[in-house]
Structure formats: structure tokens, C-alpha cells
């Protein structure tokens, strides 16, 4: 399959509380969507990002973001740092049914505070001779 025929979404860490995603929706995806949900279903549905957090092997949806129809990227503000997150790009039909189009990679945001353990440990990699 050629690259332009595949829809995708890429997620990147911007800071401890912000992630950035960019995405492409292929014409093939739009055609398949309209074949499944009816003519004009793409035009009548709304683009949506669903943000998910992974903690201790559980996944929880933490936010739904309605996107501008012309957007192909988005900054997502998170409420906490040190989180494993991923997003799903999809469409919300007029019936409020969500249809997923693409799933991003999972990223981990950094801590926003100093580590509790501030001990420094050194190891000798060169042996006893320091000449």
C-alpha cells in the first residue's frame, strides 16, 4: 500500500504537560468511511481526538478534543506530568457514535519536579591506575 493511502497519527512530547500530534487522513480512509456510514457521513461527522493514559497496565480515556476540520496537527495540554499517553484520531457521527481512524504511538512525558533521591554515586571504570 502506498504511503498516501494510509492514515496515521504521530504523537511527540513537547514538555512535561504538553504533547503534540500531527496526522494525515488518506482519501482511501474517507472513501471507506463513507462506504460504511453512508454518503456525506464524512462531511456530517466531526473530527475528534481521544486522549488515553496508561497506568499500571490499565488504560483510561482522559479527554475528548473536538478538532478544527482543517487542522492536521494539535497541541494537547495534560493535567499531570510523568504520564504515558496515546491518542486515537476519529470521527464523531451525528448520533454521537465515535469511529476510530488511527491510533498513535505511546509517549511518556517527563517529571516536572526534581527527583526525590538526590544521591550521587560514582563508579571507577578505569581501574586503580589514574596516570
User: Are the C-beta atoms of residues 85 and 53 closer than 8 Å to each other?
Assistant: yes
The pLDDT tens digits of the residues spanning 8-17 come to: 999 999 999 9
Counting every residue written for the chain, the total comes to 131
Domains and CATH numbers, the chain: 3-108 (2.60.40.10)
For residue 3, is pLDDT > 60?
Answer: no
Closest residue by Cα to residue 54 from 103, 123, 105, 106: 106
The pLDDT tens digits of the residues spanning 42-75 come to: 999 999 999 999 998 899 999 999 999 999 999 9
State the Rg of the chain over Cα: 21
Query: Which pLDDT score is estimated for 121?
Result: 86
Place of cell 591506575: 129
The pLDDT tens digits of the residues spanning 19-45 come to: 999 999 999 999 999 999 999 999 999
- Strand order of the β-sheet with 8-13 is 8-13, 18-24, 73-77
List Cα–Cα distances, 124 to 117, 127, 128, 129, 130, in angstroms: 21, 6, 8, 10, 10
Amino acid at each position: 500500500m502506498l504511503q498516501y493511502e494510509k492514515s496515521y497519527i504521530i504523537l511527540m512530547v513537547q514538555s512535561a504537560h504538553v504533547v503534540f500530534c500531527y496526522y494525515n487522513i488518506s482519501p482511501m480512509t474517507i472513501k471507506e468511511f463513507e462506504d460504511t456510514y453512508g454518503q456525506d457521513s464524512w462531511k456530517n461527522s466531526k473530527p475528534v481526538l481521544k486522549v488515553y493514559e496508561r497506568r499500571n497496565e490499565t488504560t483510561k480515556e482522559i479527554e475528548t478534543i473536538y478538532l478544527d476540520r482543517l487542522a492536521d496537527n494539535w497541541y494537547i495540554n495534560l493535567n499531570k506530568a510523568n504520564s504515558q499517553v496515546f491518542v486515537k484520531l476519529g470521527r464523531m457521527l451525528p448520533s454521537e457514535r465515535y469511529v476510530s481512524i488511527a491510533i498513535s504511538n505511546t509517549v511518556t512525558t517527563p517529571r516536572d519536579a526534581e527527583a526525590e533521591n538526590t544521591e550521587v554515586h560514582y563508579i571507577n571504570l578505569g581501574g586503580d591506575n589514574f596516570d
